[in-house]
Chains A and B, each alone.
Chain A
Amino acid sequence: MKFVDEFRDADLIKKTAEEIRRLAGTTRHYRFMEVCGGHTHAIYRFGLKDILPENIELIHGPGCPVCVLPMGRIDDGLALAADDHVIFAAFGDMMRVPGTHGSPLEYKARGTDVRIVYSPSDALKLARINPDRHVMFFAIGFETTAPSTALTIMRARAEGIHNFSVFCNHVTIIPAIRAILDSPDMRLDAFIGPGHVSTVIGCRPYEWIAKDERKPIVVSGFEPLDILQAIVMILRQMRAGEAKVENQYKRVVPWEGNRAALRAMGEVFQLRPYFEWRGLGFISQSALRIRDSYAEWDAEQRFQVPGVRVTDPKAAQCGEVLKGVLKPVQCKLFGKECTPEHPLGALMVSSEGSCAAYFNYEHRKAMATSLSRSA
């Protein structure tokens, strides 16, 4: 496949891995955080941990939008869908995420009209072909998906489609990175920057990480070679005693970002004063709401939202895992009460969540190896 296979070239990958080994040496330990859930997934899927030297530890960051969504928001969204008049539309990512009384998929099995859509404009299409129903799009995601939600709301207004609204859960990545860096128990050497988010926001918003926090950050693509190259770039900076923002994903990410997308977001959204993140707690100015000028398409302004707050089970240590303080397997519930089939904590829900990725791709391998060692 064009534009994919080039970045999975086995020879180049082996050479890059050797370069990493050479640059990393053996005398010190490195802790790099990959911010984006897409990176976490790719690292496990391609078995990159097996290729990296042992002294490079990858810490999985907060960039999984499904994982950081508090359960109360899901309950709120599904409460609105209880009305027979309403069609609840969301990405496939959301479908297995549990609310207090089940996931959207379980609601669907019990009769709620839940539809999987592949884009917000598909949800708008549903509204067009079901004029006597109300379609509510449950929007999730970072700056990657927020522009398409904004454009869809603008189109709904332009076309005069009134049986459509958005339950907005869009969040922004920079405050989450700041929250992690502000955490006292956090020790990170550098960041692998989020590729998709950066196609929209560009690379400038990360400059404070390099300048003020003195930590290298390299925006990276999602193929194995992308991620390994980003690690090479980080190690080169560290050897030179530098801390810069660099862009490994130039084929997709413009330094200045996507102005049209940012304009659409600015037109439709404004920052919420604060928003609750699952595992991280309340973070100020970390999420988007729909502006009053588009109130008609804002489910939260249009309907009575219960405003449910649900605390995570006390024993779940999602926050520590999310901040990289604990590894998934160090959480007391991991693989016992909390599994991908019965996720208690957020990170077990999406295949991009670090716990689910670790469970699906690594955990059994590790268990089987330790069993065979003890046998």
Chain B
Amino acid sequence: MAHGAGGKASRRLVEGLFAPLLFGSSAEPLTDSARVLVDRTSVAVTTDSFVVSPLSFPGGSIGELAINGTVNDLAVSGARPEAIVVTFILEAGLPASVLESEVRAMADAARRANVKVVGGDTKVVEHGKADLMYVTATGIGSPIPALTIDPRSVRAGDKVLLSGPVGDHGITILLARGELDIEAELRSDTRSVYPFVEAISGAAGAAIRWMRDPTRGGVATSLNELARDCGLGIYLEEEELPVHDEVRGACELLGLDPLHIANEGQCIAIVAAEYADVALAAIHQTPGGGDARIIGEVREQPAATVLVGTRYGGTRVIDMLVGDPLPRIC
């Protein structure tokens, strides 16, 4: 199960099995989309599957996640999302009204993200063979000419830019499952991050070295992947990290780290130091980007490691997540 949770095990599966057998080579760093030449034009392609329980939760639902998640993979790999095809795997007995509301949610999300849904497929499996509904979405996008997203271009001194508060989505889902008697005014942050990408690429262009939407495994896992790919250290200032009080509170109670919690509408960018402030200002002016911050910087040492500076002058290493985040009680 850990192989699907977005952390170390997922990465091992991709690097150890899929990349060598399917992609021919694993030497290239793994990114959120692939580039294909079609008639000498470069096209970005990505695919993602969505399994979530419950299907809908405060702030979103599986249909919306499928569109936004696919759009975001294209966006952070430096492409403008153009079109999406979707596949539904439905469990027999799924109420028609649920399906309809998810399709409507998709249509709305696609409209908001300014992307066309151009095709799809549906399969129905026996009752008990799927958890109500699974969705797979494949997206294509057109590369933004000014951007080259490559972890190997990252240099010591670059700044780490984060578009907004972390952990809203993961904690919302945890609470929506209803196993915890905790109530909080919290909504998933699911949305397209393309407006942020567009804003910073307009402001900083080639000074943007790398981007990622920190979904499963959270900011910590995304930055650990980067640290490994570029061989440098990443230093975060805990105090600079935007976290809503509700998320902080739930994490304190459950022994979780907000840096390990999933997000569905945030974007991390590594930006050359001299362009960091203009990139930040550009996100601040984008709707929903008011809480963006520079949360840290790239350093030579410790190599391939993410370090968090606490408020008191101490530091700790924060690793990728192993499996799903589990609450600690005793």
Residues of A with Cβ closer than 8 Å to B? 1, 4, 8, 10, 13-14, 17, 41, 44-51, 65-66, 91-93, 95-96, 105-106, 108-109, 116-119, 122, 140-142, 144-145, 224, 340-341, 350-352, 360-365, 367-369, 371-372
> What does the 1/0 interface line of B2-22 toward A look like (CB < 8 Å)?
000000110000000000000
* Cα–Cα distance between A39 and B249 once the two chains are bound (Å): 19
B303 and A368 form a contact (CB under 8 A): yes
Question: Which has the most chain B C-beta neighbours within 10 Å: A50, A65, A122?
Answer: A50
* Cα–Cα distance between A82 and B200 once the two chains are bound (Å): 55
B303 and A46 form a contact (CB under 8 A): no
Count the A-B residue pairs with Cβ separation under 8 angstroms: how many? 123
* Cα–Cα distance between A44 and B307 once the two chains are bound (Å): 12
Residues of A within 8 A of B245 (CB): 1
Residues of B within 8 A of A91 (CB): 327-330
Q: Does B258 count as interface, using CB distance less than 8 angstroms?
A: no
Contact partner of A93 among B304, B322, B323, B330, CB < 8 A?
B330
A65 and B314 form a contact (CB under 8 A): no
B312 and A13 form a contact (CB under 8 A): yes
Residues of B within 8 A of A352 (CB): 328
* Cα–Cα distance between A352 and B1 once the two chains are bound (Å): 23
Q: How many residues of B contact A (CB 8 A)?
A: 38
Q: Does B233 count as interface, using CB distance less than 8 angstroms?
A: yes
A-B contact pairs, 17 of them (CB 8 A): A1-B249, A14-B312, A17-B312, A48-B314, A91-B330, A92-B327, A105-B1, A118-B181, A145-B330, A352-B328, A361-B317, A362-B317, A365-B305, A365-B317, A368-B233, A372-B301, A372-B302
Could you tell me the dominant secondary structure of chain A's interface residues?
A: helix
* Cα–Cα distance between A348 and B309 once the two chains are bound (Å): 24
* Cα–Cα distance between A145 and B314 once the two chains are bound (Å): 31
**Known A-B contacts A13-B312, A50-B315, A365-B315; A371 and B8 likewise in contact (beta carbons under 8 Å):** no
Q: Does B96 count as interface, using CB distance less than 8 angstroms?
A: no
B316 nearest CB neighbor, chain A only: A361
B310 nearest CB neighbor, chain A only: A47
* Cα–Cα distance between A46 and B315 once the two chains are bound (Å): 7
CB distance from B137 to the nearest CB of A (A): 25
**Known A-B contacts A47-B310, A96-B323, A109-B1; A341 and B9 likewise in contact (beta carbons under 8 Å):** yes
Residues of A within 8 A of B179 (CB): 116-118, 122
Q: Does B255 count as interface, using CB distance less than 8 angstroms?
A: yes
CB distance from A29 to the nearest CB of B (A): 21
Contact partner of A10 among B255, B312, B317, CB < 8 A?
B312
CB distance from B180 to the nearest CB of A (A): 6
Residues of B within 8 A of A371 (CB): 302-303
Residues of A within 8 A of B318 (CB): 360-361
Q: Does B229 count as interface, using CB distance less than 8 angstroms?
A: no
CB distance from A66 to the nearest CB of B (A): 7
Residues of A within 8 A of B108 (CB): none
CB distance from B228 to the nearest CB of A (A): 11
